A and B are shown apart, each in its own frame.
Chain A
Amino acid sequence: MDTVNSERERLRFFGRITAAATHDLKNVLAIVNENAGLLEDLCALAERGQLTPDRLTHASGRIREQVKRGDGIMRRLNDFAHSTDHDASQVDLGEAALLASGLCNRVAKLHETSIKVEAETSTSVTASRFEVIRLVCGLIEAAVKATGTSGGVSVTTQAGPPSVAVAAPEGTSVETGPLAPLAESVGAEIVSSDPHHVAVRFSGA
């Protein structure tokens, strides 16, 4: 069986994240495509004198919104792709938590839940940025699966000691056992104060 630190598992994670992001991008493009098509339809109506300007404004506004949404997805995906640039670097835990949450939005949506982030951006650790993101995504995915439709997942960062905490609603149990070797490989450990509340705590800044 592949362990969490095997190359196969790293590749699977990369595949999961890019598949989710590109699926979202396809949805964005589908909406842009339909609205661009609608503008053409409306132009045909204009030739027959049946067009009110608010319909044009509405369609072009939707295109702008989707371009903004697509830009956010692309920025996250690009940031994630660059996380493999260095074996070790200064990783801002707040930024990593925000990125991981954004990357996990689709999996949360499919499980009919949502992710809320309260990140303190001044906390950083020296580690592989890719592995830190993979670890935080792993925690979030575990919390999302435990949560289902019973509420939302919250992600917070703390400065002393540097940590990222993930909380599912009370009464749920977040299973993080398989992630322990990954945490260890980035100089961290997984701690849990309650079954629904888990955190990855780094040993030093």
Chain B
Amino acid sequence: MSEKVLLIDDEPEFLETMSERLRLRGMEVEACTSISEALDIMADKQFDAIFLDLQMPGTNGIDSLKMIKKLHPSLQVILLTGHASVEKGIEAMKLGAMDFIEKPADIDVLSEKVRKAQAKKMLLVEEATEERIHDILHGRAW
């Protein structure tokens, strides 16, 4: 099953090239330049991983991360940034980011992150399903 990726960055040229490279690696890719666009796309489609730029016009990456994790808790968010400070990295991980990577990044590293994100998301979905079945069997969901 091909991995589904959403790229959010305010640099259209970066989005265009990164999308093309990930597609060449067999992934399904959507891209957008703002968090509001991203939320609209996420309302209709499922993704395994999101690459989110930390510094975007109108909002900051940390607030965007909070918004995404609140609406889609099992979605794996990888922050991409021009300046990866330790404090921001710790803050992002505490808020549930899967990883925090500095630009420019290696495509093989990013591809591997996407595969791990897909596996992690599947595990989370499986756990949630098992919990649901357990609740049904023990009558808590009736």
On A, residues with C-beta under 8 Å from B are: 19, 22-23, 26-27, 29-35, 37-38, 41, 45, 59, 62, 65-66, 109-112, 149
Q: A31-B11, A38-B20, A109-B57 are in contact. Are A23 and B104 (CB under 8 A)?
A: no
Q: Could you say which of B10, B21, B55, B104 contacts A30, with CB atoms under 8 Å apart?
A: B104
Q: A23-B83, A27-B11 are in contact. Are A112 and B17 (CB under 8 A)?
A: no
Interface residues of B in 1-39 (CB under 8 A from A): 10-11, 13-14, 16-18, 20-21, 24
In the docked arrangement, what's the CA distance between A110 and B20, Å? 26
Q: Is B132 an interface residue (CB 8 A)?
A: no
Contact B17 A111 (CB under 8 A): no
Q: A26-B103, A34-B14 are in contact. Are A111 and B20 (CB under 8 A)?
A: no
Q: How far is the CB of A186 from chain B (nearest CB, A)?
A: 32
Q: Sort A-B residue pairs by CB-CB distance and give the 9 closest, nearest first.
A: A26-B82, A33-B104, A30-B103, A34-B17, A30-B104, A23-B82, A112-B57, A31-B13, A31-B14
Contact A41 B24 (CB under 8 A): yes
Residues of A within 8 A of B103 (CB): 26-27, 29-30, 33
Contact B21 A29 (CB under 8 A): no
Residues of B within 8 A of A112 (CB): 57-58
Q: A31-B11, A110-B57 are in contact. Are A26 and B24 (CB under 8 A)?
A: no
Residues of B within 8 A of A110 (CB): 55, 57-58
On B, residues with C-beta under 8 Å from A are: 10-11, 13-14, 16-18, 20-21, 24, 55, 57-58, 82-83, 102-105, 107
Residues of B within 8 A of A38 (CB): 17, 20-21
In the docked arrangement, what's the CA distance between A31 and B82, Å? 12
Task: Give the dominant DSSP class at B's interface.
Answer: mixed
Contact A109 B13 (CB under 8 A): no
Q: Could you say which of A22, A29, A62, A109 contacts B104, with CB atoms under 8 Å apart?
A: A29
Contact B21 A27 (CB under 8 A): no
Closest to B20 in A: A38
Residues of B within 8 A of A41 (CB): 21, 24
Contact B17 A31 (CB under 8 A): yes
26 contacts between A and B (CB under 8 A): A22-B82, A22-B83, A27-B11, A27-B14, A30-B14, A30-B82, A30-B104, A30-B105, A31-B13, A33-B104, A33-B105, A34-B21, A34-B104, A35-B17, A38-B20, A38-B21, A59-B17, A62-B13, A62-B17, A65-B13, A66-B13, A109-B10, A110-B55, A110-B57, A112-B57, A149-B58
Residues of A within 8 A of B21 (CB): 34, 37-38, 41
Q: How far is the CB of B26 from chain A (nearest CB, A)?
A: 12
Residues of A within 8 A of B57 (CB): 109-112
Closest to A32 in B: B104
Contact B82 A27 (CB under 8 A): yes
Residues of A within 8 A of B13 (CB): 31, 62, 65-66
